[in-house]
Structure 1
Amino acid sequence: MSDAVPLPDLKTPDDLFAFLNALGISHATKRHAPVFTVAESVALRDEIPGGHTKNLFVKDKKDRYFVLTVEENATVDLKTIHKVIGAASRVSFGRPEKLMEYLGVVPGSVTVLGAFNDTGGNVTFILDEDLMRNEIINAHPLSNDATTSIRREDLLRFLEATGHPPLVLKLTD
């Protein structure tokens, strides 16, 4: 017998798009070369309007996991953010194995749309107030070789539909 933990059935970007379609959520996706950092994705700004996201996958000492979704150039103070999000302690970055297990993505592809793969409700998704001032929000559709644009209200509906009540908090200064 193997000690390996089987991964859950992870969904694909096409599964995600079908889910959005079933909810009646309009979305547009642009394929591009893989981007692993905000700096690498800057070249896409002229081609893709709207608020572009940076996502942090973090955990507290009680192994509660969070995805913090902020505007791409925002700074999150990891020494104090636990007070804002209700974490049990200061947060640290979640391990890549948990990122894959819970969200079905690898480092560099963290996305609010990963809620689609978190069928166990292991992760709390928190959107920054400043990001949510944008009418259109852009996020990776489970992989970093594309960007999906979705209306702000539809992103909130998507999170509800995945069983993740959306939390919109002031995460940045």
Structure 2
Amino acid sequence: MKKDGKNARGQVYQALDELKISYQVHEHEAFFTVAEADEKGYALPGLNLKNLFIKHKKGPERWLVILEDHCRLDFKALGKLTGWGNKAAFAGDEELMRCLGLTPGSVGPFGLLNDREHQVIVVLGKAVCDAEEGTLVNFHPNDNTATLSLTKKDFLKFLRHMGNPVIFEI
């Protein structure tokens, strides 16, 4: 079931408002990759992040890896962290929709609102872990035509509320 962007955003805004988390909305054209945003010169103050939805090639495990936008995922390090070795791969569009209720280009931590069984494990990259609590972090609100800015402290509050396992620093 595909969610339209407006409804997807509303779900995120409602959750953040209920948690009394402050955020700023930045409207923009749809960006599907970091490279597209770079081409248009789009960057916000704080940490601009990318979110990768990773799966075990043969098992049910799913991971949401959050990295600084120009950082490459170290699959070897992820393999050690997960115990998978070289069995990690990017999850497909259908899995992304099934697990997080998201479409490609909209991947981010707010998709955890759709993971009612808390099966997706969140992995935070070094840039996020090392950032001060007041540093702004930027994510799509389950729709890639906007970006939300909130503090790292409030982002961690959101993650705690969601209840998904979180691993710090890959």
TM-score by length of 2: 0.86
**Gaps spanning 5+ residues in structure 2: where?**
none
1:4 aligned partner: none
Amino acid in structure 2 at the alignment position of 1:97: E
User: In 1, distance between residues paired with 2:74 and 2:83?
Assistant: 14
Give the drift of 1:87: 4.3
User: In 2, distance between residues paired with 1:108 and 1:12?
Assistant: 13
Matches within 5 A, 1:85-164: 86-89=82-85, 90-134=87-131, 135-164=135-164
Give the drift of 1:80: 3.9
Amino acid in structure 2 at the alignment position of 1:19: A
Point out the more displaced range, 114-123 or 10-19: 10-19
**Gaps spanning 5+ residues in structure 1: where?**
1-6
Amino acid in structure 2 at the alignment position of 1:70: L
Query: What is the CA deviation profile of residues 1-35 of structure 1, one whole-angstrom value per residue up to 9, with x for unaligned ones?
Result: xxxxxx59996211111110111111111110000
1:31 aligned partner: 27
Point out the more displaced range, 11-20 or 66-75: 11-20
Contact residue 57 and residue 68 of structure 1 kept, 8 A: yes
Instruction: Please state which structure has a larger fraction of its residues in helix.
Output: 2
Contact residue 126 and residue 167 of structure 1 kept, 8 A: yes
List structure 1 segments (4+ residues) > 6 angstroms apart after TM superposition.
8-11
1:41 aligned partner: 37
SS in 2 for 1:12: helix
2:13 aligned partner: 17
Give the drift of 1:133: 3.1
Amino acid in structure 2 at the alignment position of 1:162: M
CA RMSD of aligned residues (A): 2.0
User: In 2, distance between residues paired with 1:133 and 1:119?
Assistant: 29
Give the drift of 1:93: 0.9
Query: What is the CA deviation profile of residues 49-90 of structure 1, one whole-angstrom value per residue up to 9, with x for unaligned ones?
Result: 110111111111322000100000101122441212x24342
User: In 2, distance between residues paired with 1:78 and 1:167?
Assistant: 15
Q: In 2 relative to 1, CA 8–39 (structure 1 residues): closer, same or farther, beyond 3 Å?
A: closer
User: In 2, distance between residues paired with 1:73 and 1:36?
Assistant: 14
Residue from 42, 50, 53 that aligns with 1:57: 53
Contact residue 28 and residue 150 of structure 1 kept, 8 A: yes
Q: In 2 relative to 1, CA 67–152 (structure 1 residues): closer, same or farther, beyond 3 Å?
A: same
1:3 aligned partner: none
Contact residue 55 and residue 89 of structure 2 kept, 8 A: yes
TM-score by length of 1: 0.85
